[in-house]
Structure 1
């Protein structure tokens, strides 16, 4: 597709947008989300933000949401940290307002199809994308197609029970905050400076992440797992312990073929959102 596509990442704190033109993402901008306002006010805010891109004459709108989404009907079931944004017919609202096709999905699913379409996941037909940030999210690409599942909830391994909590508790920024009372970025600087406590924090994190990746291998055995999110930048600090844990996976031949990749895209959420429009026939749901 050579025509412009608008991608939006709508979250509890901010709304971010960008335009894909000839394969390149341009004009990244953002506004604060009026999270405590009414549903109608938030919808009008989104519409006003989209209007700032009107001069591009984009052919479609792709949107990533951190929550459950009925991707066929374009209904947002719920969005974290926005009390009024429950059961929102976002696709219908935006289609009527702009007369363009609108595609909406969970933001972790967007990440997976984004890295497959535009990033390091290009060579692989079967991959899983895992976002490591404030929380943990997962998305699945099967035979080159995004698999969303019911209400775009496929790949939510983060909520599965693990130890005394769930995987997200141990495989996201929550781990560093809850056990080391610090942010990953701060601890990373300390670890690189040789602080033994900070070094141990990332070793433990790598162990927990390795356990999560084993669950993914047992369930899907993908060709590649792509890590994204802000914590991916600390990969050298947890890589060794993560692979040590992966070595306990029961099927070594499967592990030998697995590629662990680090996303090079800084705007993965928007890349994934535009990918929804670019590959609209490739979205699979149940």
Structure 2
């Protein structure tokens, strides 16, 4: 049996999985992301724990097809990471550097892109070759897999769905520096911001007012309980998402759309709302594209990193 390591590098933790190449997760663990000196030691830390795991599992290096890395930033086809703000990295040849460090085959991809690849391989997109994934969390990420391959683009920015422009005259800036990005309205942070604005000028009673520290989950939960303001907020999120996904599908025409990230735990209230508006705005040939919830949750990136090695 051959094995591969999938490494999902986040701003707080690094998730590492050992997989057999038939898609079975053999073992997984986490380490803290060491961002001292602009992330200088991150790759060294990963290399160290993987070498220890190889020894503990009694694996021979010829049994290992390599290490796949998912990083929170744009990645070019050549394996160059074009900067990762959350890690402190500037542009650098991560693939080449880590290959020299470990002596193993290395492939690098954007974290949202590899999550889409993971869902295509062993998750909600299994059995499909053309998958669009959108991840709704603190921010909004996305990944596009066409004909079984990640679409990364020339600058590594393929799938940056969260930074589509969806609204003019937005005064607040997105984290990317632009104004009116999708992320500002449909992410966990964005929906809370929109709710707080609405509660300021809408004088109707609402159960949302009882929360001292309002979270996205509270808004979806109260919408399910029938709170009128919460329902309107969620409806607006679904309208923006449905419209945006319809526009993307007019360009890439995927077989399936997978909704992931922490916000996706809202479940049917989210997917049914998105479907309603997607079908309203989509080009007729794309209107019945399947929209489903992700299955692999926080492990999707690790799965996708291993699949990267199997091209």
TM range (shorter): 0.7 to 0.9
Q: Which residue of 1 aligns with 2:13?
A: 14
Q: Deviations over 1:239-285 (max 9, x none)?
A: 333222123225323213x1112111121111111111122xxxxxx
Shift of the 195–249 alpha-carbon distance from structure 1 to 2, 3 Å rule, reads: closer
Q: 1:208 aligns with which of 240, 247, 250?
A: 240
Larger radius of gyration: 2
Q: Which residue of 2 aligns with 1:123?
A: 127
* Distance in 2 of aligned mates of 1:171 and 1:26: 35
User: Residues 203 and 237 of structure 1 are in contact (CA less than 8 Å); yes or no, is this contact kept in structure 2?
Assistant: no
Q: Which residue of 2 aligns with 1:65?
A: 71
4+ aligned runs moved over 6 Å, structure 1: none
Confirm or deny that 1:261 pairs with 2:267. no
User: Residues 125 and 256 of structure 2 are in contact (CA less than 8 Å); yes or no, is this contact kept in structure 1?
Assistant: yes
Shift of the 275–176 alpha-carbon distance from structure 1 to 2, 3 Å rule, reads: same
167-176 or 198-207, larger mean C-alpha shift: 198-207
1:186 offset after TM fit, Å?
3.1
- Which sections of structure 1, spanning at least 5 residues, go unmatched? 280-286
Question: How many correspondences in the alignment?
Answer: 275
Q: 2:84 aligns with which of 75, 79, 85?
A: 79
* Distance in 2 of aligned mates of 1:101 and 1:7: 12
* Distance in 1 of aligned mates of 2:72 and 2:104: 23
Shift of the 198–39 alpha-carbon distance from structure 1 to 2, 3 Å rule, reads: same
180-189 or 137-146, larger mean C-alpha shift: 180-189
* Distance in 1 of aligned mates of 2:49 and 2:217: 31
User: Residues 23 and 303 of structure 2 are in contact (CA less than 8 Å); yes or no, is this contact kept in structure 1?
Assistant: no
1:17 offset after TM fit, Å?
0.6
Shift of the 77–193 alpha-carbon distance from structure 1 to 2, 3 Å rule, reads: same
User: Residues 33 and 42 of structure 1 are in contact (CA less than 8 Å); yes or no, is this contact kept in structure 2?
Assistant: yes
1:64 offset after TM fit, Å?
0.6
1:144 offset after TM fit, Å?
2.2
1:38 offset after TM fit, Å?
4.1
- Which sections of structure 2, spanning at least 5 residues, go unmatched? 171-179, 197-213
Shift of the 138–38 alpha-carbon distance from structure 1 to 2, 3 Å rule, reads: closer
* Distance in 2 of aligned mates of 1:35 and 1:197: 41
1:39 offset after TM fit, Å?
4.1
Corresponding residue SS for 1:149: coil
User: Residues 60 and 101 of structure 1 are in contact (CA less than 8 Å); yes or no, is this contact kept in structure 2?
Assistant: yes
Confirm or deny that 1:248 pairs with 2:280. yes
User: Residues 250 and 286 of structure 2 are in contact (CA less than 8 Å); yes or no, is this contact kept in structure 1?
Assistant: no
* Distance in 2 of aligned mates of 1:236 and 1:87: 40
User: Residues 204 and 241 of structure 1 are in contact (CA less than 8 Å); yes or no, is this contact kept in structure 2?
Assistant: no
* Distance in 2 of aligned mates of 1:240 and 1:143: 27
* Distance in 1 of aligned mates of 2:130 and 2:73: 23
* Distance in 2 of aligned mates of 1:241 and 1:192: 12
When the two structures are superposed, what TM-score results if normalisation uses the length of structure 1? 0.88
Confirm or deny that 1:43 pairs with 2:55. no
Confirm or deny that 1:173 pairs with 2:173. no
Q: Deviations over 1:24-47 (max 9, x none)?
A: 113221122122434432332232
The root-mean-square deviation of aligned C-alpha atoms, in Å, is: 2.0
1:15 offset after TM fit, Å?
1.0
* Distance in 2 of aligned mates of 1:38 and 1:142: 34
